[in-house]
């Protein structure tokens, strides 16, 4: 395993131990609201700090872009190395004790994602990838599924929950996809949904309004597992553009055809 990936795994496991301890008594976790339906807990913050501590002690000159604390002081356009972190993707699930959430850590080097970790502490599923070296689940090589027909595909998505402005458009997309695929799922942690595409548990995924920390690790897992990730127009410019489609090569192409009318 690449030494930088190894460090990221160590950071994810440290965050997981904080999350797991809290999950035994989730009723007692302090919750505050960042915006409508946008919750953050003391656990998100503690897990994020644990991740940052591990990464910065190993790589003090690397920059950080994290969901709760934002960008580190040394983050600017020319950064060689930026760690993109979501300490707890699926906070709303976590608050309810619904066991679908994960930790996502990715390294971006000169604009390219080169290392990725998505860790599901509930199932002890550790998804990892290094650019050019394949994607793994618990150290076993993973590939996207072989499904190529939309009618047989299981597709993941997420609904708008903060900004309801796009809800009507989402209902249209929901209809288009539901009529054409075998099933649409909305588990509530985008980083984990993307990891599931990489592992062949979902055949595709789409969502609007995602942040870089939702997508960074999952996108590398998918491309290293033989899948494709793009924006709603099918182009590779998605990480900071919020809208993403991912899937097996053939399912991706069909999703782009169906969803490109909804591109910005």
Per DSSP bridges, beta strands 154-157 and 204-207 are parallel
Superfamily assignment of 3-142 in CATH? Fructose-1,6-Bisphosphatase, subunit A, domain 1 (3.30.540.10)
262 pLDDT above the threshold of 80? yes
CATH 3.40.190.80 fits 150-262, yes or no: yes
CA quadruple 19, 241, 143, 188: dihedral sign: positive
Rounded CA gap, 148 and 60, in Å?
45
Rounded CA gap, 131 and 134, in Å?
7
The band of 23, judged by pLDDT with boundaries at 50, 70 and 90, is confident
- Phi, psi (rounded to 5 degrees) for 250: -75, -40
The DSSP line for 70-90 is EE-TT--TT-SEEEEEEEEET
User: In which residue are the tokens 């409508």 written?
Assistant: 36
Count how many residues are written for the chain. 264
38 pLDDT above the threshold of 70? no
Q: What is the mean pLDDT of residues 224-249?
A: 95
214 pLDDT above the threshold of 80? yes
Which tens digits make up the pLDDT trace of 59-70?
Answer: 999 999 998 888
3-state DSSP assignment of residue 63 = strand
3-state DSSP assignment of residue 116 = strand
Which tens digits make up the pLDDT trace of 198-213?
Answer: 999 999 999 999 999 9
Which tens digits make up the pLDDT trace of 136-185?
Answer: 999 999 999 999 999 999 999 998 766 677 888 999 999 999 999 999 99
- Phi, psi (rounded to 5 degrees) for 174: -55, -45
Contact 209, 241 (CB under 8 A): no
Domain ranges of the chain: 3-142, 150-262
């Amino acid at each position: 395993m690449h030494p930088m990936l190894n460090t990221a795994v160590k950071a994810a496991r440290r965050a997981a131990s904080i999350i797991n301890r809290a999950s035994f008594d989730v009723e007692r976790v302090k919750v505050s609201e960042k915006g409508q339906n946008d919750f953050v807990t003391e656990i998100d913050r503690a897990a994020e700090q644990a991740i940052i501590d591990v990464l910065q002690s190993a790589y003090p000159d690397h920059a950080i872009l994290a969901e709760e604390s934002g960008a580190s002081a040394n983050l600017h356009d020319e950064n060689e190395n930026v760690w993109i972190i979501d300490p707890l993707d699926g906070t709303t699930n976590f608050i309810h004790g619904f066991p679908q959430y994960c930790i996502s850590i990715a390294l971006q080097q000169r604009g390219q994602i080169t290392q990725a970790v998505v860790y599901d502490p509930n199932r002890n599923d550790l998804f990892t990838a290094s650019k050019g070296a394949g994607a793994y689940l618990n150290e076993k090589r993973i590939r996207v599924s072989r499904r190529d027909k939309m009618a047989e595909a299981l597709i993941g998505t997420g609904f708008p929950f903060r900004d309801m402005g796009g809800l009507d458009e989402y209902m249209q997309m929901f209809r288009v996809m539901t009529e054409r695929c075998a099933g649409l799922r909305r588990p509530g942690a985008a980083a984990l949904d993307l990891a599931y595409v990489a592992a062949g548990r979902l055949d595709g995924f789409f969502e609007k309004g995602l942040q870089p920390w939702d997508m960074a690790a999952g996108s590398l897992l998918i491309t290293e597992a033989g899948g494709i990730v793009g924006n709603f127009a099918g182009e590779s410019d998605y990480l900071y553009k919020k809208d993403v489609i991912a899937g097996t090569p053939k399912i991706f192409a069909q999703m782009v055809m169906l969803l490109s009318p909804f591109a910005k």
